[in-house]
Chain A
Amino acid sequence: MSLSCAAGAGLTALRQALEARRTGLRPNDFEPCALTTWIGRVEGVERVELPADLAEFDCRNNRLAELGLQADDFIDRIEALKRRIAPERIACVIGTSTAGIGCTEAAYRELGESQHFDTRFLLPRVHTPHTSSAYVARRLGLQGPVMTISTACSSSAKVFAAAARLIEAGLADAAVVGGVDSLCQSVLYGFHSLELVSERPCRPFDRDRNGLSLGEAAGFAILESDPEQSLGRLAGWGESSDAHHMASPHPEGRGAVAAMRQALGAAGIDPSGIGYINCHGTATAMNDQVEAGAIHRVFGSPPPAASTKGWTGHTLGAAGIVESVFSLLALSDCFLPAGLNLDEPEDGWADFILTESRHEKVAHVLSNSFGFGGSNCSLIFARA
């Protein structure tokens, strides 16, 4: 697996950032956005160059994807995988919410009187949600099914379930799953219009939390039913819909409860079998409270938990893969991170959120991802 986000490019840098509790958030310097906020911008995306034969994919999202693919020897690992499994049997399932919209925004900023895109923006493969899945499949030479899941902030959690089903149905023997989302004006001004963006670094589950910090990330993993070596096992998943509101969670967390229970059922374990929860934990006033309530309903007395968004910001369509990688690291490294910027946890309902990280071996980690449209996905990972 590989992950590049604001807290670091590659797993070595990320392990250090987690242990040292070093945030990747910085005061907003993402032009032309003038908002006062903190962002999880990935250093150096602008300087990434795509291979020459893939120039028609050039945009921030795909440069970020390329950065992610170059980390953690991921490209070499795919070459090794392709020596064992035919490329025709390797699927590519990538989650994204922003895709290349940042490039579409730029094209509109430079429309001029003709009302046509300047020729340098005439890149049909960039202005579609499918851009990064198509890019990754081409870049890695994968010839199995290529699909994009775009369900807002649950996108790259759902990729694990979708890829596992492709393998179960016999339509693939392995899959590259992942998520790529990049900073753009749409999400910065969009969440600002909903009054959900904090002026400070986000503070998940803190009494003084007042909104999210936006971030970007690219992460990838290989899913196989019979791997040569394993970083962890996808033990179960649950997917549900709130059927309540486009942008607000169901007040009793109905969909979140259903997703977590379904994942536990699929994994065949009791709630007590979960040793740590990587929460969705966006740090908006309502989301954190609803998620904590849902966790209480499912677990009674919840296991240790935290949100890692204080390191990365909310990476939206990439949040699922970011937090899946962090969950797998928690399992393999026996390290359960406490939340960042959590000075005063809500004492009534967030007492299970870790305020100090623990070195502890756990058997199963649950990762929650909840998105607009009431789209929920919970994943359970087990030790390899």
Chain B
Amino acid sequence: MSFRIDILGVGLAAPGLPDWHHFERVLRGAELDPTAKPAPSSLLSPRERRRAPAAVKLTFPAAEQACTMAGIEPGEPLAIFSSGMGDLDITDYMCRTLADTPDLLSPTRFHNSVHNAASGYWSIGAGATGEVTALSAWRDSAALGLLEGLTRTLTGREPVLVVIYDDHAIGPMQDLWPGDHAFCAALLMARPGRPNAIAQLEMSTCREASRHPDLPAALQARLDDNPAARLLPVLALIAGGIDGEVVLAPERGPALKIGRSR
């Protein structure tokens, strides 16, 4: 079974890949400048931005970029946030404080420690009162986030905002979750027929190993660094920077085969 899905907007947030424009340039051979940082999201006031948890700072710019590109109010789409490890900065804080001075645990940082903190703040910041969810599939969170996006797009209200992210670990968790660079990408998916689609993807399930056409070395390095960046070949397809098929295979369960239909 294969499905056609319109992509209405895309967004990126990673050091050196701060937005779609930078990504397209690197995809076409420009050097990746690791000092280029995403512009902050307009959905947070400067004060909120200072206090925001790391996962919010990472995801909001990409999610907002995707909505802006599509010309859609950020609160309109239902939203799926998918991350293997969530907010590793807060995990480190929580576990350190619980080990040393549990009675001094910050109530704010506790309620920000839930895996759906980024999606919860998104619903508040964007005014999204519809369905907002938070997934994890460890190193396969890109594939499962996309699969859930496909499922939602096929079965209910759309468009669907899919936000895939993972931060780099700090402290002892670095031994378990290697990676030097945070990564977040957002896609706005819809059923075919929208006049403003920037690309149309053909998606099907298969039982094949992950593969993708060659990417520039700087992008391949990010893909190898951070599991959320396994979405990069899909973004490259959308940008028209590569031709052919991308297979995103989780360690268990069906893989997604993705090509460009137009």
B151 and A146 form a contact (CB under 8 A): no
Determine the chain A residues whose CB is within 8 A of the CB of B111 once the complex forms: 190, 194, 246-247, 372
Q: Does A170 contact B (CB under 8 A)?
A: yes
Interface residues on A, range: 35 or more
Q: B-side interface residues toward A, CB under 8 Å?
A: 1, 75, 84-86, 91, 94-96, 98-99, 102-103, 105-107, 110-117, 119-121, 123-124, 126-138, 141, 144, 147-148, 150-152, 154-156, 171-173, 175-177, 205, 207, 250, 252-254
A169 vs B189: C-alpha distance in the bound complex, in angstroms? Answer: 15
Q: Which of A96-135 contact B (CB under 8 A)?
A: 97, 101, 104-105, 107-109, 111, 115-117, 122-125, 127-131, 133-134
Whole-angstrom CA separation of A261 from B145 in the bound complex: 27
Residues of A within 8 A of B131 (CB): 239-241
A149 at the interface (CB under 8 A from B): yes
B102 and A150: CB pair below 8 A?
no
Contact B114 A373 (CB under 8 A): yes
Q: Does A280 contact B (CB under 8 A)?
A: no
Greatest chain A CB density within 10 A among B103, B114, B254 is at: B114
Is A254 an interface residue, CB under 8 A from the partner? yes
A162 with B120: in contact, given A108-B99, A168-B155 (CB under 8 Å)?
A: no
Which chain A residues lie closer than 8 Å to B99 at the CB level? 105, 108-109, 111
A155 to chain B, nearest CB (A): 8
Determine whether the beta carbon of A130 is less than 8 Å from that of B137: yes
Q: Are A193 and B105 in contact (CB under 8 A)?
A: yes
On whether the beta carbons of B95 and A108 are closer than 8 Å, the reply is yes
Check B114 against A372 for contact (C-beta < 8 Å): yes
B-side contacts of A88, CB under 8 Å: 207, 254
Contact B253 A144 (CB under 8 A): yes
- Can you offer 14 A-B residue contacts whose CB atoms are under 8 A? A33-B102, A92-B253, A130-B138, A133-B137, A137-B253, A146-B250, A147-B148, A151-B119, A151-B134, A165-B156, A170-B1, A190-B105, A243-B123, A246-B117
Q: Does A145 contact B (CB under 8 A)?
A: yes
Which residues of the partner chain A approach B205 to less than 8 Å between Cβ atoms? Answer: 171
Evaluate contact between A169 and B151: CB separation under 8 angstroms. yes
Residues of B within 8 A of A111 (CB): 99, 172
Closest CB in chain B relative to A171 CB, distance in Å? 6
* Residues of the B chain whose Cβ atoms lie less than 8 Å from the Cβ of A158: 133
Tell me the smallest distance from the CB of B103 to a CB of chain A, in Å. 7
A 216-243 to B, binary, CB cutoff 8 A, 1 in contact else 0:
0000000000000000000000011111
Whether A171 and B105, one on each chain, are in contact in the complex, defined by CB atoms closer than 8 angstroms, is no
Contact (Cβ within 8 A) B252 A138: yes
Residue A375 at the chain B interface, CB threshold 8 Å: yes
Q: Are B156 and A243 in contact (CB under 8 A)?
A: no
CA distance A371 to B129 in the complex (A): 14
Residue from B106, B126, B131 whose CB has the most chain A CB atoms within 10 Å? B131
A373–B123 contact, CB under 8 A?
A: yes
Q: Which residues of A contact B112 (CB under 8 A)?
A: 246
Quick check: is A70 within 8 A (CB to CB) of the other chain?
no
Interchain CA distance A241-B135 in the complex, whole Å: 16
Chain B residues in 8 Å Cβ range of A133 = 137
Dominant secondary structure of chain A at its interface with chain B: mixed
Contacts of B133 in A (CB 8 A): 149, 151, 158, 162, 239, 375
Chain B residues in 8 Å Cβ range of A137? 252-253
Residues of B within 8 A of A108 (CB): 95-96, 98-99, 172
- Enumerate chain A residues within 8 angstroms of B150, measured Cβ to Cβ: 169, 171
CB–CB B254/A171 < 8 A: yes
Give the docked Cα–Cα distance between A241 and B91 (Å): 24
Picked from A101, A147, A148, A243, the residue with its CB within 8 Å of the CB of B127 is: A243
- Verify A116–B172 contact, CB threshold 8 A: yes
Answer whether A115 and B137 are a contact pair too, CB < 8 Å, given A194-B111, A258-B129. no
- Bound together, the chains give a CA A105 to CA B173 distance in angstroms of 11
Smallest Cβ distance from B67 to chain A, in angstroms? 15
Q: How far is the CA of A144 from the CA of B144 in the complex (A)?
A: 11
Which of B135, B138, B156, B172 is close to A125, meaning CB atoms less than 8 Å apart?
B138
Counting CB contacts under 8 A, is A185 at the interface? yes
* A152 touches B (CB below 8 Å): yes
Assess the A150–B114 pair: CB atoms within 8 A.
yes
Report how far A128 CA is from B176 CA in the complex, Å. 10
Q: Which of B117, B124, B132, B253 has the most CB of A within 10 A?
A: B253
From B75, B94, B154, A169 is in contact (CB under 8 Å) with B154
Q: A115-B172, A190-B110 are in contact. Are A241 and B130 (CB under 8 A)?
A: yes
With contacts A116-B172, A137-B252, A162-B148 known, is A373 near B120, CB below 8 A?
yes
